[in-house]
Amino acid sequence: MHSVKAHRVGGALADQHRQHDALEAAPSNYPRSIAPEDEAVAPSSPSDYSPLIRGFTSACGILPLSLGPHDRPRRILHDRDFTYVVTAHGVIDQLGTTSVLELDRNIRSPSLPFEEFVDDACILSHQGNPVVILGHAREQNQIACLVLGHGQVSRHITLRRDTVKRHGVSAMTSLMSPLKFASGGYDHRVHLWDIAQDLSGASAVELAIKHTSLVHSLLPIVDTSHKLVSVGADCDVPIYDMSSERVVQTLKTSCIPYHAHKTDLRSCTLLEVSHLETQFEIRDHRQPNQAVQRFGFLAGEKRGRFEKADSWSHFVVCGDRDGAVRLWDLRNVSTEVAYRQCFNDPVVQVVNTGPRLLACSKRNELACINFQDE
């Protein structure tokens, strides 16, 4: 059995290329609690808590996905009970619920996979059953709602999205209200969707969010109210307030942003950006024109919009183009907390499912990393 040692802050890394010589991180002022709007945030130090990433075992190592030619994983979706892998060709596989990394069953295999063009996906729940929402980068039938039950698609609903140019959905996210989700498109527009309780259809409202390029990702947050963060390829990140129905703040980035993630501080959002050394920025909504912190790793090439990290509490985990998984503590980002080489090709997505981290590679492989406290 192989093991992975957790790298404590200030510890030496195994490979010199992972040293952060060019790191542009500002002094850590990431608090563990929410500060009032008119109070300065005092610096906080990481506690002695250090996560342990245990090594792969023969029971939860590398799992190949049986995908067709030219198919690629798009999203790993996780709800309370199950984890699903969604591909660009619309294939949906359900993973087992045990500690063993295994495919439980194939949920969906489209008859015309080359016409699917899935760019993003999200997951909702209806009467205890998962509902997978697919966003397609195509002219017709751009959004599909798939109600799952007993390991198969029990109902397929196609939603119509009116577009005038540049057809296709590029971003999806579930919202905090039941049966509601948001979509962003190649036409630069963002829509809020409300699915009927009987699943007969859905109504859509275009939000007053203005982008000049395609929408890369969407993130619902709650600070002083319910809001939606929209990440655009135009380097604008508008924050839309649901109650007042207007954009209340717009974050500006110098690099193209790809994804937004929650942090344990409500007034801050973590952005993934296109940069060779600092792939992450912590942005305070009250300071729209500058990053509170920047951090990352030295990379040979920039990440793309289909590569996605994950965050929970004060941690963020991501993969790199060399097949490694990297973990940071947001309270001190001067170095990685843990590092694990998983594949020989780029990591597409890493997701925290609770008892374990799931990483997916560009060559259609899954890796499981057990995650626990010391």
Q: Is the pLDDT of residue 373 over 50?
A: no
| CB count in 10 Å sphere of residue 112 | 8
pLDDT tens-digit series, residues 79-116:
887 899 999 999 999 998 776 788 888 999 999 999 99
Tell me the average pLDDT across 302-310: 94
pLDDT tens-digit series, residues 227-236:
999 999 999 9
Q: Is the pLDDT of residue 238 over 90?
A: yes
Token readout for 166 is: 């540049």
Between 8-17, 194-203, 207-216, 282-291, the lowest mean confidence (pLDDT) is in 8-17
Choose between 254 and 41: higher pLDDT.
Answer: 254
Q: Is the pLDDT of residue 16 over 50?
A: no
pLDDT of 372: 62
CA 141 – CA 302 distance, rounded (Å): 32
CA 277 – CA 260 distance, rounded (Å): 18
pLDDT of 80: 81
pLDDT of 59: 35
Q: Is residue 30 very low, low, confident or very high in pLDDT (cuts 50, 70, 90)? A: low
Handedness of CA 135, 138, 142, 148 (dihedral sign): negative
Give per-residue burial for 154-163: e unless 16+ CB within 10 Å, then b. eeebebebee
pLDDT tens-digit series, residues 34-79:
333 333 333 333 333 344 444 433 335 789 988 888 999 999 999 8
What backbone torsions phi and psi does residue 17 show, to the nearest 5 degrees?
A: -70, -15
pLDDT tens-digit series, residues 315-363:
999 999 999 999 999 999 998 999 999 999 999 999 998 878 999 999 8
pLDDT of 97: 72
Q: What percent of the chain has pLDDT over 90?
A: 65
pLDDT tens-digit series, residues 124-169:
999 889 999 999 999 889 999 999 988 899 999 999 888 767 789 9
